[in-house]
Homo-oligomer: A and B are copies of this chain.
Amino acid sequence: MKNKTLEEFSLETASSEPVPGGGSIAAYSGALSAALSEMVANLTVGKKKYEDVEEEMKLILDKSEMIRVKMLDNIEKDCEAFDKVMAGFKLPKNTEEEKTHRTKMIQESLVAAAEIPLEIAKEAFEIMPLAEIVIEKGNKNAVTDGLVSAMLARTAVLSALLNVKINLNSIKDEDYVEKTRKIVENLEKMAVEKEKEILNKSPLK
């Protein structure tokens, strides 16, 4: 999926094929968010004016690259998880045995289809403190790129969490649903607050 062109990916999203959908878009938003914080760090390291933050920026380079690479793979993983749910619904349901098996397969695939966007949301949230640091301490000429990184991270988190929630609605394991709902609510709240906090630091009023 990461080898599609920008145009192809947008065209396939727009089509009536169910994938790629919101989960994959959340993952790619996360990849671009990470890329923008990485860019600001790249524009900061090796510059005399910023030598005090050289080591901190190098750490950000490592972290943001790691997240970017993971997010690119998550685009595909989200599509695969969705396909598995679809495949589950297509299983035969003629006998009691088939019905039991079908339900089990659907339920398992739904949990997997919730876990992947949850992972995307958690990783996208990890970008926010990186964006915050590059905005505060990185190359001033690239401050807008850091701010866009923060906004895209927030959208990646919230978008991924929507895809968790829609799957939770069909999952029967109440303990799992309750536990996951709490994580979702917390992450949602934290992402919205963190973005506000970061945007308040913008030198561009």
In whole Å, how far is A62's beta carbon from the nearest beta carbon of chain B? 12
Q: CB within 8 Å of B: which residues of A?
A: 1-7, 9-11, 13-16, 18, 21-22, 25-26, 28-29, 31-32, 34-36, 38-39, 42-43, 64-65, 68, 72, 75, 142-145, 147-148, 151-152, 154-155, 158-159, 162-163, 165-166, 169, 202, 204
Contact B10 A35 (CB under 8 A): yes
Q: Give the interface SS of chain A, mostly helix, strand, loop or mixed.
A: helix
In whole Å, how far is A191's beta carbon from the nearest beta carbon of chain B? 11
Residues of B within 8 Å of A4, CB to CB, are 5-6
Contact A145 B22 (CB under 8 A): yes
Residues of B within 8 Å of A21, CB to CB, are 36, 39, 142, 144-145
Bound-state CA distance A13–B31 (Å) is 10
Bound-state CA distance A165–B28 (Å) is 26
Residues of B within 8 Å of A6, CB to CB, are 1-6, 9, 28, 31, 72, 75
Q: A145-B21, A148-B162, A166-B144 are in contact. Are A3 and B7 (CB under 8 A)?
A: yes
Bound-state CA distance A30–B89 (Å) is 33
Q: A10-B32, A148-B22, A204-B166 are in contact. Are A16 and B2 (CB under 8 A)?
A: no
